[in-house]
Structure 1
């Protein structure tokens, strides 16, 4: 998080996605360019296979998909290197996509206008933590999903299960693996929000994410679920509407493209809304100092004195032998010598313990002690 967020009054207490439409559009632009780069090798390969047809690549979308399958068969030699290069590009885009994501999280948690240098600082600061979180999440998702699918296949291969039941078992375990992977991704988003909001490392952000999940698990799950369900409905509606528009003419292709991209942008706003909700849940478990609280709201340091100097007592206790003794004299009077004021220093004041003696008291000479005792006897 940028140092801007540590200044007083720059922390957004209730982050909302609708307050950052420009940053959301910036993330959308990055994803659009990345999608074009990923699809370009396949578009060139399949486009070359159907370039001789009068309708061009529109024949790939005819009912039955016969020409699509034929184009894939004829382009199999060029699709293999295109697939390998696309996978490498996908890994690179996955890591580069952490930059706009971190900038979006930082902008959602800030108040007021956001400058370009602030976006750059938010994007670069947690890059190392985001990379470690991405690798750890991918490893956990692959292990958990692979284990569940392997268990489903092992159960489906039993002799006591028929083919129909075996397919149902496989589908059930695959669905469970997908749900588990989605839950890991939800936790991943919460850890990212903690890393940006509190400027935390990998282990500290995971710890804060566990605390946030433990404090409100149902609220987090409900907040993610309804947004994910609404996004799935919007994408499905765009696919159905785009197929009804058709691709016979260029105007229809462009209209279908606009419909699809509108649904993608709406889904991206829903994701930004979910990230803002994750930030609000993370704020409940982060210390106030991590959120840039003013100095008066931060925890005050302990007032326990650290000096090792001895404490000078204010007065000496009265002797238990004198019932009608006067109240203890101030410390200034105790340091006077009998020669200066003998009336204030009676000789018979035995101490109960060495620790009750006043520090830095001048010793009384023996001959003056005798004179004082004679006066008392008289």
Structure 2
């Protein structure tokens, strides 16, 4: 049975309601930069996670090439011979520790749901009258439903994308014989795009549910019920705002990769420059992610009624 429930705190955001349908990029960025300390905290978590994951590999890298006159520059030589040499020397170690590292990355990712919940709370102005302890408790309260949502949605997204890829690979030979190689390739390409879009739409529903769990304190079931009851037109509009951020992210990634390739032929400044470049890209990613979450929060606070599943 479905009954309407008015969230207790939506009344505090009445002034946002009229703006919700006009929530543009400048406004979302204004909200994001208003909470710059939260951005810096989330960035610090990402840096700590990166260092924790990459430190063993950096240590191995230094042991192999640290005393060489060219140092780590050997790894940037064309052909990747030095990199292959590193992998060959540490193959046994890598094979031994790869499962452990994989589990560690997965564990760290799930723990990262707590900083994510804190970021959503901050972007929604839910922390103005909270102490840090209360702020953290609110994030911890959201952890279990967020983790369950992640397991459900990510598994489904992988199933859709992986199932689509498997189907296309199986059907490719049949299409080639019946339609010719060129037409078969075109159909396969359209199929890949179709399944990727389907998977990414599920990702949008995932983010909507996340925001409802944290921002409106819904249970997992309530959040999913609300997300899948949204009108298609609203979901498509949200998907558009998500898609341009992903496209911009991709453009920045390709530009950063090209710049890294140029820098790799330079001197010792390369490592420092690449480190700065990586952190700039990481922080830009966080800004785009935060602006997307802010967009969802504003959309959420614009409604007068949400649904509670009993």
On the 8 A contact 2:241/2:292 being kept in 1, the answer is yes
Q: Is 1:84 matched up with 2:121?
A: no
- The normalised TM-score by structure 2 is 0.81
On the 8 A contact 2:149/2:206 being kept in 1, the answer is yes
How far 1:124 moved relative to its partner? 0.9
Q: Which residue of the partner structure matches residue 161 of structure 2? A: 145
The 5 Å alignment of 1:119-198 reads: 119-158=135-174, 160=177, 173-198=191-216
Q: For residues 127 and 45 of structure 2, what CA distance do their matches in structure 1 show?
A: 24
Q: Which residue of the partner structure matches residue 84 of structure 2? A: 69
Q: For residues 284 and 304 of structure 2, what CA distance do their matches in structure 1 show?
A: 30
Structure 2: gaps spanning 5 or more residues: 1-7, 21-27
- Measured at CA, do residues 279 and 211 of structure 1 come closer, stay the same or move farther in structure 2, by a change above 3 Å? farther
Q: For residues 164 and 260 of structure 1, what CA distance do their matches in structure 2 show?
A: 39
Q: For residues 87 and 182 of structure 2, what CA distance do their matches in structure 1 show?
A: 31
Match of 1:262 among 280, 284, 292: 280
The 5 Å alignment of 1:312-323 reads: none
Q: Which residue of the partner structure matches residue 255 of structure 2? A: 237
On the 8 A contact 2:76/2:264 being kept in 1, the answer is no
Match of 1:107 among 113, 122, 137: 122
On the 8 A contact 1:126/1:196 being kept in 2, the answer is yes
Q: Is 1:41 matched up with 2:59?
A: no
Q: Which residue of the partner structure matches residue 274 of structure 1? A: 292
Total equivalences in the alignment: 286
Q: Which moved more, 1:103-112 or 1:209-218?
A: 209-218
On the 8 A contact 1:211/1:285 being kept in 2, the answer is no
Q: CA RMSD in A?
A: 3.0
Q: Which moved more, 1:7-16 or 1:48-57?
A: 7-16
- Measured at CA, do residues 156 and 8 of structure 1 come closer, stay the same or move farther in structure 2, by a change above 3 Å? closer
Tell me which of the two structures has the higher relative contact order, counting C-alpha pairs closer than 8 angstroms and 6 or more residues apart: 2
- Measured at CA, do residues 116 and 194 of structure 1 come closer, stay the same or move farther in structure 2, by a change above 3 Å? same
Q: For residues 46 and 167 of structure 2, what CA distance do their matches in structure 1 show?
A: 36
Q: For residues 175 and 189 of structure 1, what CA distance do their matches in structure 2 show?
A: 21
- The normalised TM-score by structure 1 is 0.67
Match of 2:228 among 210, 228, 232: 210
Q: For residues 143 and 189 of structure 2, what CA distance do their matches in structure 1 show?
A: 37
Structure whose residues are more often helix by fraction: 2
How far 1:9 moved relative to its partner? 4.5
Q: Is 1:94 matched up with 2:75?
A: no
- Measured at CA, do residues 90 and 166 of structure 1 come closer, stay the same or move farther in structure 2, by a change above 3 Å? farther
Q: Deviations over 1:283-342 (max 9, x none)?
A: 24463899xxxxxxxxxxxxxxxxxxxxxxxxxxxxxxxxxxxxxxxxxxxxxxxxxxxx
Q: For residues 207 and 221 of structure 2, what CA distance do their matches in structure 1 show?
A: 14
- Measured at CA, do residues 128 and 82 of structure 1 come closer, stay the same or move farther in structure 2, by a change above 3 Å? same
How far 1:187 moved relative to its partner? 1.2
Q: For residues 133 and 277 of structure 1, what CA distance do their matches in structure 2 show?
A: 20
Q: For residues 65 and 127 of structure 2, what CA distance do their matches in structure 1 show?
A: 52
Q: Give 1 or 2 for the bigger CA radius of gyration.
A: 1
Q: Is 1:200 matched up with 2:218?
A: yes
Q: For residues 137 and 15 of structure 2, what CA distance do their matches in structure 1 show?
A: 17
Q: For residues 179 and 128 of structure 1, what CA distance do their matches in structure 2 show?
A: 28
The 5 Å alignment of 1:317-336 reads: none
